[in-house]
Chain A
Amino acid sequence: MKNLLLFSISVAVLISCKTEKKSEQNIIHSNTHDEISASDEGYATNVYFGDTHLHTELSMDAGAFGNRIGLDEAYKFAKGDAVTSSSGLTAKLSRPLDFLVVADHSDGMGIFQALFNKDEWIMKYPQGKKWSKLIEEGKGGEAAIDLIKNFSQGTMEMNPIDPTLMRSVWDMTVDAAEKYNEPGKFTAFIGYEWTSLIAGNNLHRVVIYRDNEAKTRGHIPYTNTQSSDPEDLWTNLEQYEKNTNGQVLAIPHNGNLSNGIMFMETAVDGRDFDKTYVDRRIQWEPLYEITQIKGDGEAHPFLSPNDEFADFENWAFGNLDLSVAKTNDMLKGEYAREALKTGLKLKVKLGTNPYKFGFIGSTDSHTTLATADQDNFFGKASNVEPSKERWHHPFITSEKASIMTWQTVASGYAAVWAKENTRASIWDAMKRKETYGTTGSRMQIRFFGGWDYTNEDLKGDWVKTGYTKGVPMGGDIKNGLNKKPSFLINALMDPEYGSLDRVQVVKGWMDADGSVHEKVFDVAWSGDRKKNKNGKVPSVGNSVNLKDASWDNSIGATELSKVWIDPEFDPTLEAFYYVRVIEIPTPRWTLYDKIRYGAELSKEVPLTMTQRGYTSPIWYSPN
Chain B
Amino acid sequence: MKKIIQEPLLHFILIGAVFFLLYSYTGHNSENKDAIIIDTQDLEEIISKFEMQWSRTPTEDELISIVTAKIEDEVFYKEALKMKLDSNDEIIKRRLSQKMKSLTKDISTAIQPSEEELKEFFNENLEKYPTDATYSFYQMFFSPDKRKEWKKEATQLLSTLNKTSLKEALTMGDPIALPQHFNKTTEFHISRQMGSEFTAQLKDLKTQQWLGPIDSGFGTHLVFIETMETKKTASFESVKEKVTSDYLYQKQNQVKASILKEFQKKYSITFAIDNPKFSEAFVSKMKTKIIED
Contact = CB atoms under 8 A, between A and B. Distances in A.
- Mutual binders A and B: yes
Given A28-B128, A32-B234, A559 B177 contact: yes
Q: Is the interface of B mostly helix, strand, loop or mixed?
A: helix
Most buried by B among A6, A459, A493, A559: A559
A591 interface: no
Contacts of B108: 15
Nearest to B245: A179
B12 to A, nearest CB: 10
Contact of A495 (B49, B94, B198, B258): B198
A459 B241 CA distance: 44
Interface in B33-70: 49, 52-53
Contacts, number: 146
Contacts of A493: 217-218
B233 to A, nearest CB: 10
Q: Size band of the A side of the interface?
A: 35 or more
Given A15-B108, A495-B195, A559 B129 contact: no
Contact of B145 (A116, A446, A557): A557
Given A19-B258, A492-B177, A10 B17 contact: yes
B239 interface: yes
A17 B245 contact: no
B81 interface: no
A24 B126 CA distance: 13
B171 to A, nearest CB: 12
A15 to B, nearest CB: 5
A68 interface: no
Contacts of B131: 32-33
Interface stretch (A156-164, A280-288, A572-580): A156-164
Nearest to A446: B177
Contacts of B196: 94-95, 496
Interface stretch (B18-26, B202-210, B266-274, B279-287): B18-26
Nearest to A15: B111
Interface string B79-105: 000000000000100110010001000
B143 interface: yes
A559 B5 CA distance: 62
B170 to A, nearest CB: 13
A14 B144 CA distance: 62
A311 interface: no
Nearest to B253: A22
B5 A13 contact: yes
A32 B8 CA distance: 36
Nearest to A163: B52
Interface in A523-558: 526, 553-554, 557-558
B21 A3 contact: yes
A11 interface: yes
B255 interface: yes
A17 B11 contact: yes
Given A10-B14, A136-B94, A559-B176, A18 B6 contact: yes
A495 B107 CA distance: 47
B195 A496 contact: yes
Contacts of B6: 17-18
Contacts of B178: 492
Contact of A159 (B5, B18, B53): B53
Most buried by A among B107, B110, B177: B177
B217 A496 contact: yes
Nearest to A123: B91
Contacts of A162: 52
A602 interface: no
A72 interface: yes
A95 B218 CA distance: 17
A490 interface: yes
B220 to A, nearest CB: 11
A143 to B, nearest CB: 16
A80 B238 CA distance: 19
Given A118-B95, A492-B177, A559-B176, A14 B11 contact: yes
Contact of A29 (B188, B189, B197, B216): B188
Contacts of B216: 495
B192 interface: yes
A492 B193 CA distance: 10
B226 interface: no
Contacts of A180: 245
Interface string A435-463: 00000000010100000000000010001
Contacts of A37: 189
Contact of B218 (A164, A463, A558): A558
Nearest to A162: B52
A559 B174 CA distance: 11
B6 to A, nearest CB: 5
Nearest to B112: A15
B10 interface: yes
B200 interface: no
A459 B175 contact: yes
Given A95-B192, A493-B217, A32 B52 contact: no
B201 interface: no
Most buried by B among A6, A17, A98: A17
B172 interface: no
Contacts of A623: none
B191 interface: yes
Interface in A15-47: 15-19, 22, 24, 26, 28-33, 35, 37
B217 A14 contact: no
Contacts of A244: none
Contacts of B52: 162-164
B77 interface: no
B94 to A, nearest CB: 7
A341 B144 CA distance: 39
A538 to B, nearest CB: 18
Nearest to A136: B94
A18 B250 CA distance: 12
Nearest to A16: B5
Contacts of A118: 91, 94-95, 98
A118 B97 CA distance: 12
A479 interface: no
B15 A559 contact: no
A72 B130 contact: no
Contacts of B11: 13-14, 17
Nearest 7 CB-CB pairs, A to B? A495-B217, A495-B195, A32-B239, A10-B14, A31-B188, A10-B18, A28-B128
11 contacts: A4-B25, A7-B18, A11-B110, A13-B10, A26-B246, A33-B131, A98-B192, A118-B94, A162-B52, A496-B217, A558-B144
Interface of B: 5-6, 8, 10-11, 14-15, 17-18, 21-22, 24-25, 49, 52-53, 91, 94-95, 98, 102, 107-108, 110-111, 117, 125, 128-132, 143-145, 175-178, 186, 188-189, 191-192, 194-198, 216-219, 234, 238-239, 241-242, 245-246, 249, 251, 254-255, 257-259, 261
Given A7-B21, A95-B192, A496-B197, 14 more contacts: A10-B18, A17-B5, A19-B254, A30-B128, A30-B239, A30-B242, A32-B131, A33-B131, A33-B238, A116-B98, A117-B98, A463-B177, A492-B178, A492-B218
